[in-house]
Structure 1
């Protein structure tokens, strides 16, 4: 079994926030506090350390007490670029990725992803809900860094394409206490932030 101390989480908070009129999603108020605070609170018991991938408002993200880094690729190249920076910064054999806009991901996310890797040896495990695979909820070996560098150098920017190329193990959350419509729900519109 993969131990908690062997996992670094990266919170992908480096997007443009187009669906929320260009605001920084991770810093928007959700249930009375910045959304990133909820994400970090859910992550902390599940991993050994946390990194935050952000491309603006770095000082505000640093105030949450975890290392913050920017994408090495300019112009908001997407979650694959943030994942690459996370793999570069991680000092553990495993990296967990989560988006900054999914505040109700399962509290046993890491446990279930790690179990999927036990059952189906692979270098990547992904969360699925029986209908959809959620690519931003991934547990992956940091040994994939060189492959990701090559992929980005070829111009590929689709997270799912790269992850699927590694024949991922799937952790099926369809029978969990959360329904598929809310366990991995993303906040994408201004009205979602209450």
Structure 2
């Protein structure tokens, strides 16, 4: 059973244009019989105290997915209570449209009562079940405001999954300043914060599905 961090909210980032999949909404593409975003929500829900979605399209469909996981209907009775629903939000109208995951993060931070926020992209349906607790412990151990998962990439390299970061809301002014200055790369922004890297051995669990063939294949 996943460890729930009540002081943390989880946000599914599903606000992209889906350019790599012909403009389709990636979070709603089927994978193993369910929308990809539904798999991600199912992984997040047992780990967080609040659950929300940033989506610029198909709000009703995402709202149905969120209600399923935030109301407890997706989990057996023996499971801990479901997380509180934080709603489905489009990118803040004061931000330029389709400005990438950073816009979604800014939107989520202003709609979250919890001090800590864990972000996940909508195209990562194989996520391991222990991610948040591991990031949480590392952030507190290292006195960091941001904890980022890292997985092996090749024989000698590693890959940071910047959009899967756990962040404290005190980094919000840094995010806002970077966004206003034109920064759109989440990794560049995190480098301005006090952050820590957390290693995970399961690289496949953090794989993004970026093609129609992959997403419909079910592997």
Q: Which runs of 5+ in 1 are unaligned?
A: none
Structure 1 residue 115, shift from structure 2 partner: 1.5
Is it true that 1:53 corresponds to 2:54 in the alignment?
A: yes
User: Does the 8 Å contact 2:148/2:160 carry over to 1?
Assistant: yes
Structure 1 residue 102, shift from structure 2 partner: 0.4
Structure 1 residues 97-149: Cα deviation after superposition (integer angstroms, max 9, x where no partner)? 00000011110010110111132111000000141111011101012112212
Match of 2:135 in 1: 113
1:91-130 map, 5 Å: 91-130=113-152
CA distance in 1, matches of 2:21, 2:151: 26
1:83-98 map, 5 Å: 83-98=105-120
Match of 1:68 in 2: 88
2:165 is paired with a residue whose SS is strand
Structure 1 residue 62, shift from structure 2 partner: 0.9
User: Does the 8 Å contact 2:171/2:193 carry over to 1?
Assistant: no
Aligned length: 188
Structure 1 residue 167, shift from structure 2 partner: 3.4
Q: Which runs of 5+ in 2 are unaligned?
A: 68-84, 153-157
Answer with 1 or 2: which has the greater Rg.
Answer: 2
Match of 2:43 in 1: 42
Q: Structure 1 stretches (4+) deviating beyond 2 angstroms?
A: none
2:17 is paired with a residue whose SS is coil
Structure 1 residue 3, shift from structure 2 partner: 6.8
User: Does the 8 Å contact 2:149/2:165 carry over to 1?
Assistant: yes
CA distance in 2, matches of 1:48, 1:90: 11
Match among 132, 146, 160 for residue 187 of structure 2: 160
CA distance in 1, matches of 2:125, 2:49: 19
Is it true that 1:80 corresponds to 2:102 in the alignment?
A: yes
Structure 1 residues 58-79: Cα deviation after superposition (integer angstroms, max 9, x where no partner)? 1111112141001122320000
The RMSD of aligned alpha carbons is: 1.4
TM-score with structure 1 length normalisation? 0.92
Is it true that 1:150 corresponds to 2:177 in the alignment?
A: yes
CA distance in 2, matches of 1:23, 1:45: 28
Is it true that 1:140 corresponds to 2:167 in the alignment?
A: yes
Structure 1 residues 8-58: Cα deviation after superposition (integer angstroms, max 9, x where no partner)? 011110001011000000011110111111111111111011110111111
